[in-house]
Amino acid sequence: FIVHDAIICEQSPFFAKALKKEWEEGTARVIPFPEDEPKVFSQYLSTAYTTYFAPMSTVPVHLEHTSECYITTAKLYVLAGKLMDHKATALILMALLKLLDAAHPGGSILPPPVDAINIIYCGTMAKDPARKALVKGFADHGDRDYSKELSESSGNIHEDFLFDLSTSLLQSRSVPTAAIRGRKRKANDG
């Protein structure tokens, strides 16, 4: 891709540092990204140039496109984070939140697919806002069918997601009053 270094360096501290003359990439004016898909990088550039995240301007109407949007959004989020582009990361996170809360015709909301969860969890650090958003999205909108999909994918799903989800679900449930009294009684007796 050919980009304007003034624009990209203003958006991304990664590019600002990598394009300095003391680095090989800065001298050659070429920075390879072999692990990132050209389509995703192109969408990132569009976001960086316009400060608008175009792929999520409208939420997909058909459920079969929702999984693809989640996956693309997850890849873009991880790429923007890797490039230290805080504006793009914030825009993409807002798009992810919009997708997590979007109702499709018929009122159904599709939680994030396992692939999108793994992309976010493998590409971000603990306590990242996107991780929290995915957990909340599943906790708020997941159902038995999706739970079944998760259990069938349990060997493939990031274990930190399962831990974060179980923690979230346990924190959100109400504990019956009798159980609380029983715990207090045992603590006082011990």
| Structural domain spans, the chain | 1-32, 33-186
Whether the per-residue pLDDT at 27 is higher than 60: the answer is: no
Whether the per-residue pLDDT at 130 is higher than 90: the answer is: yes
Question: What mean pLDDT, rounded, does the chain reach?
Answer: 75
Query: How far is residue 131's CA from residue 99's CA, in Å, rounded to a whole number?
Result: 14
Res 170: pLDDT: 86
Question: Whole-model pTM?
Answer: 0.72
Whether the per-residue pLDDT at 155 is higher than 50: the answer is: yes
Query: How far is residue 96's CA from residue 70's CA, in Å, rounded to a whole number?
Result: 7
Q: Among the residues of the chain, which ranges form H helices? A: 5-11, 13-18, 24-28, 38-50, 63-82, 86-101, 114-123, 129-141, 144-152, 159-172, 177-189
Question: pLDDT tens across 81-104, in order?
Answer: 988 888 888 888 988 888 887 755
Q: What is the DSSP letter of 56?
A: G
Whether the per-residue pLDDT at 77 is higher than 90: the answer is: yes
Residue 122 CB contacts under 8 Å (≥ 6 apart), including other chains: 78, 158
Query: How far is residue 49's CA from residue 11's CA, in Å, rounded to a whole number?
Result: 9
Res 99: pLDDT: 84
Res 64: pLDDT: 59
Res 58: pLDDT: 44
